[in-house]
C-alpha cells in the first residue's frame, strides 16, 4: 500500500475516534426527569390544599381564619307523592347515621334539613362535591330514575310506605296521588331540572328539592326554603333568601332553625309557586 494512502487512512481513523458522540440519549433522559419532577411538584401542591386548591368548595382549613376555606349550606327536601319527608338524619362520617367508619364526610347534615358542605379532603371538594356524593356518604342512593332515601315518614309523622322509589312505581294509599305512577323529579331554587341529579355539583345557599310524583305534578316549594341551617365549626350561617322560592308549598310551614335543637315557626304561606 502506498505510504501516502496509509497516512490518509490513519488520519480518518483518528478523526473518527476523536469525534464526539451525539448526546440524544442524554436529552431524552433530562426531558423525562423534568416531567417527573414537575408532576411530583403538582401532586404535592394539590395535596397541600393551598394555592392549587382553587376549585370551590375548597378542602381543608384556612389558617388565616381557622375555618374551612369554603363553608357552604344548601337546603335539601324530598317530596313523595305530595308529602314532604322528614329531614335526613344527622351523620358526619362516611356511611351514614349508623356508620362505624372514622372517615369524616365533608358533605353531611346535622338533621336540620341542610347539606353542610365543608370538604375535609379532595374527594369531597371541587367538582367532587355533588348531590350524589352527599347521598353516597349518607348511605343512600340517587340516580336519574330511582331514589333510596333515609325514611318513608313525612315531616308530620305520616308514612308513605317505603324509602325506595323507582320510575313507574305507584303512589301508595293515603297520599295525594294515590294509585298514580310517578317518576323521579328534581329542582334547584324551585326551578325544574333535567338529567341525573346525582351529577349536580353543589353550591352555596341553594334550595334543592327531589321528588317522586306523576309527570304532570309540580314539586312545589320545600318547607325549609327560607330556613337557617344550624351553626357548626365556627360558622355563622344565614337564612336562605332565594327569590324564586318565596312561598311555601302546599301545607308547608316555614321552619327557621336558630340553633341545634331550638326552632321557631312562621305562619304557613297561602300561595304556591309554579316551576317552569
What pLDDT is stored for residue 249 in this prediction?
Answer: 46
pLDDT tens track for 96-147:
999 999 999 999 999 999 999 999 999 999 999 999 999 999 999 999 999 9
Statement to judge: residues 42 and 153 lie in one domain = no
What pLDDT is stored for residue 258 in this prediction?
Answer: 36
Specify the higher pLDDT residue, 260 or 7: 7
Q: Considering the domain boundaries, does residue 36 fall inside one?
A: yes
Statement to judge: residues 47 and 92 lie in one domain = no
What pLDDT is stored for residue 13 in this prediction?
Answer: 53
What pLDDT is stored for residue 3 in this prediction?
Answer: 54
Q: Is the pLDDT of residue 265 over 50?
A: no
> What's the CA angle centered on 265, arms 263 and 270, to 5 degrees?
155
Q: Is the pLDDT of residue 45 over 50?
A: no
What pLDDT is stored for residue 238 in this prediction?
Answer: 83
Statement to judge: residues 46 and 142 lie in one domain = no
What pLDDT is stored for residue 53 in this prediction?
Answer: 75
Domain count, the chain: 2
- Return the SS3 of 90: coil
pLDDT tens track for 178-208:
999 999 999 999 999 999 999 999 999 999 9
Do the Cβ atoms of 75 and 69 come closer than 8 Å? no
Statement to judge: residues 120 and 221 lie in one domain = yes
Statement to judge: residues 46 and 155 lie in one domain = no
Q: What is the DSSP letter of 182?
A: -
Do the Cβ atoms of 209 and 192 come closer than 8 Å? no
The pLDDT-based confidence of 69 (bands split at 50, 70, 90) is very high
Q: Considering the domain boundaries, does residue 251 fall inside one?
A: yes
The pLDDT-based confidence of 234 (bands split at 50, 70, 90) is low
Over the chain, what is the mean pLDDT?
81
Statement to judge: residues 108 and 32 lie in one domain = no
Q: Is the pLDDT of residue 19 over 60?
A: no
What pLDDT is stored for residue 129 in this prediction?
Answer: 97
Statement to judge: residues 113 and 35 lie in one domain = no
The candidate with the shortest Cα–Cα distance to 265, out of 273, 252, 253, 247, is: 253
pLDDT tens track for 24-36:
556 665 666 555 5
Specify the higher pLDDT residue, 232 or 161: 161
The pLDDT-based confidence of 54 (bands split at 50, 70, 90) is confident
* Alpha helices per DSSP H over the chain: 3-18, 24-48, 131-138
Amino acid at each position: 500500500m502506498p505510504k501516502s494512502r496509509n497516512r490518509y487512512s490513519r488520519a480518518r481513523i483518528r478523526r473518527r475516534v476523536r469525534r464526539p458522540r451525539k448526546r440524544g440519549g442524554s436529552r431524552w433522559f433530562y426531558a423525562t426527569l423534568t416531567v417527573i419532577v414537575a408532576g411530583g411538584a403538582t401532586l404535592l401542591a394539590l395535596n397541600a390544599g393551598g394555592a392549587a386548591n382553587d376549585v370551590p368548595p375548597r378542602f381543608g382549613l384556612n389558617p388565616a381564619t381557622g375555618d374551612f376555606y369554603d363553608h357552604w349550606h344548601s337546603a335539601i327536601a324530598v317530596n313523595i307523592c305530595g308529602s314532604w319527608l322528614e329531614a335526613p338524619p344527622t351523620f358526619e362520617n362516611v356511611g351514614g347515621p349508623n356508620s362505624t367508619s372514622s372517615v369524616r364526610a365533608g358533605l353531611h347534615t346535622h338533621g336540620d334539613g341542610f347539606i353542610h358542605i365543608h370538604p375535609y379532603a379532595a374527594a369531597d371538594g371541587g367538582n367532587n362535591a355533588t348531590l350524589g356524593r352527599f347521598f353516597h356518604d349518607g348511605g343512600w342512593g340517587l340516580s336519574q330514575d330511582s331514589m333510596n332515601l333515609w325514611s318513608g315518614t313525612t315531616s308530620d309523622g305520616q308514612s308513605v310506605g317505603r324509602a325506595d322509589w323507582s320510575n313507574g312505581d305507584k303512589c301508595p294509599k293515603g297520599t295525594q296521588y294515590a294509585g298514580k305512577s310517578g317518576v323521579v323529579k328534581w329542582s334547584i331554587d324551585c326551578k325544574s331540572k333535567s338529567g341525573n341529579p346525582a351529577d349536580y355539583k353543589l353550591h352555596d345557599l341553594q334550595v334543592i328539592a327531589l321528588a317522586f310524583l306523576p309527570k304532570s305534578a309540580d314539586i312545589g316549594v320545600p318547607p325549609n326554603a327560607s330556613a337557617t341551617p344550624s351553626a357548626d365549626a365556627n360558622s355563622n350561617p344565614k337564612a336562605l333568601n332565594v327569590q324564586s322560592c318565596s312561598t311555601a308549598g302546599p301545607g308547608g310551614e316555614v321552619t327557621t332553625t336558630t340553633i341545634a335543637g331550638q326552632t321557631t315557626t312562621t305562619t304557613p304561606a297561602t300561595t304556591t309557586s309554579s316551576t317552569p
